[in-house]
Structure 1
Amino acid sequence: METLIIITSIYLFICIGYALKKIFTHDINEKTLILLSVYFLQPILTFWGLTRVSINNDLLYLPLVYLLVIISVLIFLLLVAKYIFEDKQEQSIFIVSSLIGNTGNLSIPLGIALFGESSVPYTSMINIANIFFIYTIGIFFYAKSSFSLKESLISMVKIPILWFALIALLFNYFSISIDPQINLVLEMGAYAAIVIQLIILGIYLSKVKLREHDYKLSLSISFVKLVFLPAVGIVFALYSDLDNQIAVILLISLFAPLAVTNVNIAALYNCKPSSVAGAILMSSFLFLFLIYFNIEIVTWIFR
């Protein structure tokens, strides 16, 4: 029941963002919300999550397994993309967006619904690994036709989320305590970050034109993101030393739908952002129908 409530709440906030943009077309500025999220609320969410519990081997090992799964599928997609799509930009979108999931704003609340707040440090560490992938490999594929890798990496360094993650890890390593009142403020900011990002997703989805959409691209991306990637993740999890609960958290993060960050970066580097937004819509729609069965399957495998 809690999982159903969380999933319903997630899509409610997405629908709110969609409705707001449709009703107040020229009054809603999504860029303002993105800047607020990326430079203020997301760093708070990251810091709050990574200071919840002490660092242990599982907390460090989990994002490594996540990246191994992502990189393995990345290599496979590099080999097959040119046989599926002729357009170079579509190849890039297919390769990288299939691997960039919404590990922050969907995986974190789902983890809380299933395992409580004890899951937050693990989902936050996976989110950091995902952010690292986004602002290195992700930016390279989206930007390679317009910008140099050096310029892209400089942009990556300017993102505060990575720095806040480092500070949080230092707090954790040196066992620096945080005043309960300050922690309450951080918790408020963390949950606000989740809500704002879901509203941003709804705003972007309101711009998708279904009649002009590239369904081949969207369905190909959705298949990789929601089926193939989690299947590879199950294989890695079975042969790893992860605790069963942590393995489920890993898989929840792997079958999260596409992240809004895909649209942000695609728009920044003029890499068919409308096609990317449509792919997010498709993956989010399919995720709605698959999430219950996926959770049941992975919890049965790792019970």
Structure 2
Amino acid sequence: MSTETILSLLGIYLFIAVGFGAKWTFKEKIDDRTITLLSVYFLQIFLTFWGLLKRPIDTELLFAPALYLGISLLALLLMIPLAKMLFDNPKERSIGTVAALIGNTGNLGIPLGIALFGEMSVPYLTLINLVNVFVVYTIGVFYYSRGEFSVRDSLINILKLPVLWAAIVAIALNLIGYIPSPAVDKTLMMGAYASMTMQLVLFGIYLYGIKLGEINLRLTAWVNGTKFVLIPVIAFVVLGMVEMDATVKGILFLELVVPLAVANVNLASLYNCSPRTVTVEVFTTSVVFLGIAFFLPTLLQMF
């Protein structure tokens, strides 16, 4: 693994450490709920606009993100009945169903993809991250809501989040050819980086409250298994059946195996779906991925 790849990973974990250290130092003076609301309802709007207006959406590039969505949905169809059999608690069932699908395709996937594949990967990484945004704020919102809300209320919760509407507006602006001025782009970029940084800091804050005795070993084993075994196997099978450039296959596979996104914690906190339990799952997949990352160049060469 290259030095640049290692630095990309360490830079992300640095901000997680900042959140952990802040909560350890100031304890209850830091309100994690307030930070969650600020991130989800305001700053992530900037991140959405900045990412979707960064470059024109080329329809020739849509096959890779379409495959990403197809593999994610196939994995979801397999996980729904399996999670229902394994977990009686509705919150655990929701986490077990959807958590592994919401990967860190943005904060980690994009810089790591650039480090491994170069700048030619940026259009693919951006569009795959766009698909993941919709997965997060539709399927993710629905299942995290289901831990405490009815089906009807969970569907309404999807429509309440401004990020989904911001994404729709941003896509419409992109398709009609709108290009932000340098001043507007700078403003959006500032908000986007603030959003990414705050999500990582929030993850560190939740990480502080974890107690080893409270870790759900069965749920943790299930989430890591689906993330690093089930989804990669599905990806290998599907990618082996399609004609596509080997490099693009590698980019797609990378985005499917990145660890859980901090967005899982945001949604779990927003809908009171055991956010500290979800934090454990995000953390453990991040640790496991550190080991897998050293073998990524070899794995990606298999395509």
Cα 1:120/1:144, change in 2 over 3 Å? same
The equivalent position to 1:261 in structure 2, one of 260, 263, 270, is 263
Moved more, 6-15 or 56-65: 56-65
1:11 offset after TM fit, Å? 0.9
1:5 offset after TM fit, Å? 0.9
Runs of 5+ in structure 2 lacking a partner? none
Cα distance in structure 2, aligned partners of 1:242 and 1:163:
32
Where does residue 7 of structure 2 map in the other structure?
Answer: 5
Cα distance in structure 2, aligned partners of 1:83 and 1:279:
20
Where does residue 25 of structure 1 map in the other structure?
Answer: 27
Task: State the Cα deviation string for residues 144-169 of structure 1 (Å, max 9, x = none).
Answer: 35322232222222322222222222
Runs of 5+ in structure 1 lacking a partner? none
1:225 offset after TM fit, Å? 0.9
TM-score, length-scaled by structure 1: 0.88
Cα distance in structure 1, aligned partners of 2:121 and 2:37:
27
Cα distance in structure 2, aligned partners of 1:79 and 1:150:
21
1:86 offset after TM fit, Å? 4.3
SS at match of 2:290: helix
Where does residue 225 of structure 2 map in the other structure?
Answer: 223
One-letter identity of the residue aligned with 2:139: I
Root mean square deviation, CA, Å: 2.4
Cα 1:191/1:135, change in 2 over 3 Å? closer
The equivalent position to 1:185 in structure 2, one of 184, 187, 191, is 187
Where does residue 215 of structure 2 map in the other structure?
Answer: 213
Cα 1:143/1:173, change in 2 over 3 Å? closer
The equivalent position to 1:135 in structure 2, one of 137, 141, 149, is 137
Cα distance in structure 1, aligned partners of 2:38 and 2:93:
31
1:100 offset after TM fit, Å? 1.8
The equivalent position to 1:290 in structure 2, one of 265, 269, 292, is 292
Where does residue 110 of structure 1 map in the other structure?
Answer: 112
Cα 1:167/1:33, change in 2 over 3 Å? same
Cα distance in structure 1, aligned partners of 2:174 and 2:269:
36
5 Å-filtered alignment, 1:34-73, equals: 34-73=36-75
One-letter identity of the residue aligned with 1:36: L
Where does residue 200 of structure 2 map in the other structure?
Answer: 198
1:168 correspondence with 2:170: yes
Moved more, 256-265 or 136-145: 136-145
Cα 1:83/1:147, change in 2 over 3 Å? closer
Cα distance in structure 2, aligned partners of 1:285 and 1:105:
16
Q: Is the contact made by 2:259 and 2:286 (CA closer than 8 Å) also made in structure 1?
A: yes
Task: State the Cα deviation string for residues 229-268 of structure 1 (Å, max 9, x = none).
Answer: 1232233233334433333332222112122232333344
Moved more, 70-79 or 186-195: 186-195
Cα distance in structure 1, aligned partners of 2:120 and 2:171:
16
One-letter identity of the residue aligned with 1:32: T
Cα distance in structure 2, aligned partners of 1:119 and 1:190:
20
Cα distance in structure 2, aligned partners of 1:16 and 1:168:
31
Q: Is the contact made by 2:8 and 2:111 (CA closer than 8 Å) also made in structure 1?
A: yes
Cα distance in structure 1, aligned partners of 2:255 and 2:61:
14
Where does residue 301 of structure 1 map in the other structure?
Answer: 302
Moved more, 78-87 or 163-172: 78-87
1:74 offset after TM fit, Å? 1.4
1:189 offset after TM fit, Å? 2.7
Cα distance in structure 2, aligned partners of 1:273 and 1:118:
37
Cα distance in structure 2, aligned partners of 1:71 and 1:239:
17
